[in-house]
Amino acid sequence: MTVVTRFAPSPTGRLHVGNIRTALHNFLFARKHGGRFILRIDDTDRERSTREFDEAIRDDLQWMGLGWDDCVRQSERFELYEREFERLKSAGRVYACYETPEELELRRKILLGRGLPPVYERKPADAAVPEGRSPHWRFKLDHEAPIEWTDLIRGAQRFDPKLLSDPVVRREDGSWLYLLPSVIDDVDLGITHIVRGEDHVSNSAAQIQMFEALGAKPPEFAHEALLVAAEGKLSKRLGSYGAPHLREEGVEPLALLAVLARIGTSQPVEPALGLDELAEGFDFATFGRAPAHFDPHDVELINARLLHQLDYGAVADRLPESASEEDWLLLRPNLERLADFPAWFDVLRGEIDPPALSHDERLLLKEAATVTESVDWAGEPWKQLTAELKESSGKKGRELFHPLRLALTGRDSGPEMAGLVARMGKERAVRRLEAAARR
């Protein structure tokens, strides 16, 4: 089993959430079934397809852990496309057309005005060739062969080719549109499954006849419902949320991948500790046909839950050099992003600014500093400190605990104080209590 993901140039040159989902689903499907995942770069557009575009795609995929078994570039395969094109031309399955875009648009409007489908009207074989015009080329659909397949998501599909326009496969300047080269690639690479958005369903119908015209068995197809957000369809132009945004915001790639692996399915979205875990539960039978609603807030929630489960070894190389496993396990329950860790690590090992407190709170902290001097730090210092202060001051609940937390951590909330106080040490605790009492 072999699957392929195609990447065409985008305005940013980076991966957005839509094509990340497609790449992920191809990757997971191949991983689950022991297949091969091939990356295809559509770099035939010389103006938009730069070396930076190529490198950016591969960099984004590698950052997310979506490695590939092979990478092909369409700009390196023109000889193959030319050979197969000539074979189709000799068989009468591609033919020259001479209409201008303006002429085609006018005819389209006329057909729509008559209540007819705006399907391209073939010219007679002996039609005169307009002088001074170069042809564009169309693939000739077989109007007598209904197009049918069983889609892995959409189920039984049937198209009447008479209601489809013969697709343009080559422009008048000789450059290629993606439809035919993609089919030629798929045949050459032995692609068995194609996963893409439902906006390509009619393209797939035409491509099935291209496979057959080349003497190849069409692959299986899975057409996914499009991602939608509050502002509507996410696309290369509208979907700015993607790999660069994640990296800038410090979001774990596995958080996004966990959401995209389940979005549009009947399965709950849960954090996963690895791609193998995501692949194990991946099944196209669980995907529905309704639009898949994507909310970046879901990624943020999964990101926090993921961090709370990650072992020290998974993050050690991204933590401050002196941070230990004990520090990580203590602080991770309060993290939303890994970038939050250094600030909490300073609570344990660094310095904080004394908080502004009331007169009564400062008196309580002065007493707390004195009590802390006598606390046995080898035992349970927080429990002993609060027990003695409760008895000596008569305070309890928020009146007791909130000033202590502010003085010791500089925060209104956070991890359990018992672990924090034990980890920061007596000397630091006394110094912070005294500084808060003096302010």
In the sheet where 227-229 sits, what is the strand order?
232-233, 227-229, 292-293
* Burial state string for 239-266 with b = 16 or more CB within 10 A and e = fewer than 16: bebbbbbbeeeebbbbbbbbbbbbbbbe
| Burial zone of 218 (CB within 10 Å; 0-12 exposed, 13-18 middle, 19+ buried) | buried
Q: Dihedral sign, CA of 386, 387, 388, 391?
A: positive
Q: Which residue has the tokens 């197809």?
A: 221
Q: What is the DSSP letter of 333?
A: G
Euclidean distance between CA atoms 163 and 153, whole angstroms: 23
Euclidean distance between CA atoms 98 and 131, whole angstroms: 10
Please tell me whether 366 is known to bind a ligand.
no
CA distances from 72 to 5, 37, 185 (A): 10, 11, 9
DSSP element (H, E) containing 418: helix 417-424
Query: Taking a C-beta distance cutoff of 8 angstroms, is the pair 186, 219 a contact?
Result: yes
Written as one string, the DSSP assignment of 198-267 is: GGGHHHHHHHHHHHHHTT-PPPEEEEEPPEEETTEE--TTT---BHHHHHHHT--HHHHHHHHHHTTBSS
Euclidean distance between CA atoms 422 and 385, whole angstroms: 11
Q: What are phi and psi of 61, to 5 degrees?
A: -65, -40
Residue list for the binding site for ATP: 236
Residue list for the binding site: 236
